[in-house]
Chain A
């Protein structure tokens, strides 16, 4: 990476804004400050830029520009998709939603809020490999199922779901299919028509675009509720003055991401595989989630006998930015719901480490990370009564 004292390996949290993207955004943050809804030519320049961006986003996922609605990010898009469809279909007696156990909280908490309103929710298990099973999806479908919402790729363990198959099942059963594709967009190929996706959420800052900008794709003809009442922006569905700079940034970032996807994926997966293969040489370690159906830049590991926050802080002292799903880092008493959903025991999940890469990372970064991890694990295990217990039990076997 650029700075030799600093390795950024938390690209699932956020990515660096691309200089090319910033360059395209700058005019709309400075001289071109017109309101896209104004009639005069000065405003219409912003309008043109916003509509060009809408087109770029549509092209990137195989949709039309008219099916793209700009939002403030992934969480807003998830909330709107789920609540918007649920509320629209409730009138038709459809009050059941199918999702998975390890969705992002933007989805799970939206579902909780719908449950309070009387909706029923089925969460499919995701099994040890972090993948939903199509037969279990089929078995969960009821006549009153309104929506299936299953994430494209998981943010913690990087598993990529069988989206085309899920889409096919939903189409056959005439159920609306939403996917939270926040981690997938720009990293794996997406075609909403070929995959039968009806709604898709994305967030610009996950693929080198600006923070505070996202989009929801809504297939033409889907009935759903408006999000913000007010002016006629976003076809009257989400009122509020357009964020022209943000839209331009999203459009540019997604265009670059899609056009460079193959090269980047190759580079990132080489880093990923090297780290996983070598980290697994550490005793009592494991990789979380399926190794094949996995985002190119995602490494998710657990080291028994150590606690994730300590591990992260020690990595930070070595200039490595990573993340963990331990209770101490999740801000609750329990470790990450994702790691528990794939069947990990609490004490194993507490020792999790997530490293997520972009194409700015290098093999040299991988080497430095692999050099840093083993002595940290050893040091923490030396202090750990839990490690002592693990070794003692092993000796008794």
Chain B
């Protein structure tokens, strides 16, 4: 069902944990739907110097969180903003169709953490990141799955 890369990240997740003095924290998903992703970012001079995650969810939720932290760590804010769910899926060698929403959550979690970073800086993130959609119900995930 899962690729080797997914199983590898699921069994050995990278950057799992918290950053107590994080510059930005973002959480998406909800318990009712069965997945919650939280991303922590440490940002210095526009560079993401550290990124950690905590995730409640299935193997693909854990794997997408794990690989997303690797894909933004050491990169600039602009590069992190450009991270797409498609890139996450590709990096994992693919995901089953009904698990694509996990990659959408990973992308959203990074963006939510960046939005929190801007907020803490007193900057309105909306012109930069756009309006972040809230994941409130399983119905909103149903729309993710069509992607």
Using a CB–CB distance below 8 Å, which chain A residues touch chain B? 305-307, 309-310, 313-314, 317, 326-328, 331, 333-335, 345-347, 350, 382-389
A331→B145 CA distance, assembly (Å):
13
Residue picked from A314, A317, A384, A387, most chain B C-beta under 10 Å: A384
Please state if B57 and A310 are interface contacts (CB–CB under 8 Å).
yes
Interface residues of B in 30-59 (CB under 8 A from A): 31-38, 54-59
Which of B33, B55, B61 meets A333, CB within 8 Å?
B33
Please state if A306 and B98 are interface contacts (CB–CB under 8 Å).
no
Judged by a CB distance under 8 angstroms, whether B16 is at the interface is yes
A384 CB to nearest chain B CB (Å): 4
Please state if B98 and A383 are interface contacts (CB–CB under 8 Å).
no
B94 CB to nearest chain A CB (Å): 17
Please state if A307 and B16 are interface contacts (CB–CB under 8 Å).
no
Please state if B58 and A385 are interface contacts (CB–CB under 8 Å).
no
A386→B34 CA distance, assembly (Å):
10
Please state if B33 and A307 are interface contacts (CB–CB under 8 Å).
no
A38 CB to nearest chain B CB (Å): 45
Residue picked from B13, B54, B58, B62, most chain A C-beta under 10 Å: B58
A333→B30 CA distance, assembly (Å):
12
Please state if B58 and A383 are interface contacts (CB–CB under 8 Å).
no
13 pairs of residues in contact across A and B, judged by CB atoms under 8 Å: A307-B61, A313-B59, A326-B34, A327-B34, A328-B99, A333-B141, A334-B138, A347-B32, A347-B34, A382-B16, A385-B36, A385-B37, A386-B56
Please state if A307 and B56 are interface contacts (CB–CB under 8 Å).
yes
B2 nearest CB neighbor, chain A only:
A313
Which of B11, B34, B99, B142 meets A307, CB within 8 Å?
B34
Interface of A is mostly: helix
Please state if B33 and A327 are interface contacts (CB–CB under 8 Å).
yes
- Complex interface: chain A residues within 8 A of B62 (CB): 310, 383
Please state if A346 and B58 are interface contacts (CB–CB under 8 Å).
no
Please state if A328 and B34 are interface contacts (CB–CB under 8 Å).
yes
Please state if B141 and A306 are interface contacts (CB–CB under 8 Å).
no
- Complex interface: chain B residues within 8 A of A345 (CB): 32
Please state if A388 and B138 are interface contacts (CB–CB under 8 Å).
no
Please state if A383 and B54 are interface contacts (CB–CB under 8 Å).
yes
Please state if A384 and B55 are interface contacts (CB–CB under 8 Å).
yes
A310→B35 CA distance, assembly (Å):
11
Judged by a CB distance under 8 angstroms, whether B10 is at the interface is yes
- Complex interface: chain B residues within 8 A of A317 (CB): 11
Residue picked from B31, B55, B141, most chain A C-beta under 10 Å: B31
A347→B33 CA distance, assembly (Å):
7
Residue picked from A333, A346, A350, most chain B C-beta under 10 Å: A333
A306 nearest CB neighbor, chain B only:
B56
Q: With A306-B56, A307-B57, A310-B59 in contact, is A385–B33 under 8 Å at CB?
A: no
- Complex interface: chain A residues within 8 A of B10 (CB): 310, 313
Judged by a CB distance under 8 angstroms, whether B27 is at the interface is yes
A327 nearest CB neighbor, chain B only:
B34
- Complex interface: chain B residues within 8 A of A333 (CB): 33, 138, 141-142
Which of A331, A334, A385, A389 meets B55, CB within 8 Å?
A385
A379 CB to nearest chain B CB (Å): 10
Residue picked from A327, A345, A388, most chain B C-beta under 10 Å: A327
Q: With A331-B98, A334-B138, A385-B38 in contact, is A310–B31 under 8 Å at CB?
A: no
B19 CB to nearest chain A CB (Å): 14
Please state if B38 and A346 are interface contacts (CB–CB under 8 Å).
no
Chain A to chain B: the 4 pairs with minimum beta-carbon distance, closest first: A347-B31, A309-B58, A328-B58, A384-B56
- Complex interface: chain B residues within 8 A of A309 (CB): 58-59
B145 nearest CB neighbor, chain A only:
A333
Known: A335-B34, A385-B56. 16 other contacts (CB 8 A): A307-B35, A307-B57, A307-B58, A317-B11, A328-B34, A328-B57, A331-B98, A346-B31, A347-B31, A382-B16, A383-B62, A384-B54, A384-B55, A386-B31, A386-B36, A388-B54
A50→B57 CA distance, assembly (Å):
49
- Complex interface: chain B residues within 8 A of A347 (CB): 31-32, 34
A390→B100 CA distance, assembly (Å):
27
B66 nearest CB neighbor, chain A only:
A383
